[in-house]
Each structure stands twice: as C-alpha cells, then as structure tokens.
Structure 1
Amino acid sequence: MRIYTDEIINAICLNMAERRGVMPTDVEVQLSWEEEYGYTAEVWVKGRSQFIIEANILEAIEQYIFKQYNLRVFRSNITLDADEEFWADITE
C-alpha cells in the first residue's frame, strides 16, 4: 500500500487536531526532508508553529491507516520517501 503527500498531510492534520482539541481545518502542514534531520514537518495550529520529527509523522500515519482503512500497521512497516512529492510505503 502506498499513500501520497495529501494523505500524509491529512494524517498529520487529524493527529494534531485530536491532540490539540481543535478542528482538522485549524491545522496546516508543510512536509520537508533535510539531510541533517531527515523527514520533518512544520505544523501550524491556529497560527502557532511547531516542528515534528519523523517519529511523529509515522505515528500519525499509523493512526490514520487504522482509522481510515481499518488496518493495523506499525511504524516499522512504514517507509517514507520523497521525490517531487512525498509518499509512504506501508507493508502489512
């Protein structure tokens, strides 16, 4: 299974909205990859910015796959990659 940028962003938005007690529409996400830090995302919740690391992104994807696809996957089954867009390969 593979999900792309939009679904990864949706996963992070839903995860952060649940954590912060806000609506998913109150969350904005910008994904990035840097050689020094790996995969990260800058997240804005009601105008306040924070950076999350790859472990947080994988957690959000793990929960998203369970809630949206009713599949139980673990972080070790998720591989992030990027080219012109981001994607996550998920093995069951």
Structure 2
Amino acid sequence: MTKLIIPEEDIILAVCIYIARQRKIEPAEVEVELFYDDYSGFSAEITTVYGKQEIVTKHIISALREWIKENLHANPYAGLKLDLNRTNGIYARLRSEDE
C-alpha cells in the first residue's frame, strides 16, 4: 500500500467544485478557507454570492471523494483522511494499492 498526499490547494479546489455544483454557480465564485481546531476538528468557511456558510469534516471528505474519483481516477474510499502539519497546513492522505 502506498499513500498519496493531497495538498491544501487541491482540497480547496475540491470544495469549490463541490459547493459550486450544489449552488449551480461557477467554482471561481466560491471562496474557501480551511480550519482546524482541537475541539471540532476540520471545517471550512465558504463564501459565495449566497453568503457565508460553514461545512464540517464529512462535507470536506465528500468533496474530496468526488474530486479524487473524477481527477485522479482512484478509489475515493481507500482510506481517505484529513491531517494537519504545522509547516505545510491541512492535507489529505489517500491510501492506494500498489500496481
């Protein structure tokens, strides 16, 4: 098994696309800021023409799963986990099988 690292920029892109599809707007019209705190875990503040909203970890994971399936053509259910590195920020790890 190998692990694929998905950087914060790609997580933000995945969330932008996910929210844009829900709201029927362009991804460029979505602003995303990722957060982590010890009590509530990962979340994101979303800003669109419809206002601000906050999404929790499960929605970020859902967005990432769609993005992984469409862009990486990988199994999005193969051990996806969000993590935090004080130097590099928020990232995701996807476990995949060696070919």
Give the TM interval when normalised to the shorter protein: over 0.9
Residue 46 of structure 2 aligns to a residue whose secondary structure is strand
* Structure with the larger helix share: 1
Of structures 1 and 2, the one scoring higher in RCO (CA 8 A, sep 6+) is: 2
Distance (whole Å) between structure 2 residues aligned to residue 45 and residue 36 of structure 1 = 26
Answering whether residue 30 of structure 2 is matched by residue 30 of structure 1, we say no
**Greater Cα offset, 41-50 or 28-37:** 41-50
| Residue 15 (structure 1) shift | 0.4
- Aligned residues between the structures: 91
* Deviation per residue, 1:52-90 (Å, 9 max, x gap): 00000000000000011111222x711111123111000
- Stretches of structure 1 that go unaligned for 5 or more consecutive residues are none
Q: TM-score, normalised on structure 2?
A: 0.87
Q: RMSD over aligned Cα, in angstroms?
A: 1.2
Q: Percent identity?
A: 25
Q: TM-score, normalised on structure 1?
A: 0.93
* Deviation per residue, 1:7-61 (Å, 9 max, x gap): 0000000000011100000000000001111000000112610000000000000
Structure 1 moving runs of 4+ over 6 Å: none
**Greater Cα offset, 55-64 or 43-52:** 43-52
Structure with max Cα Rg? 2
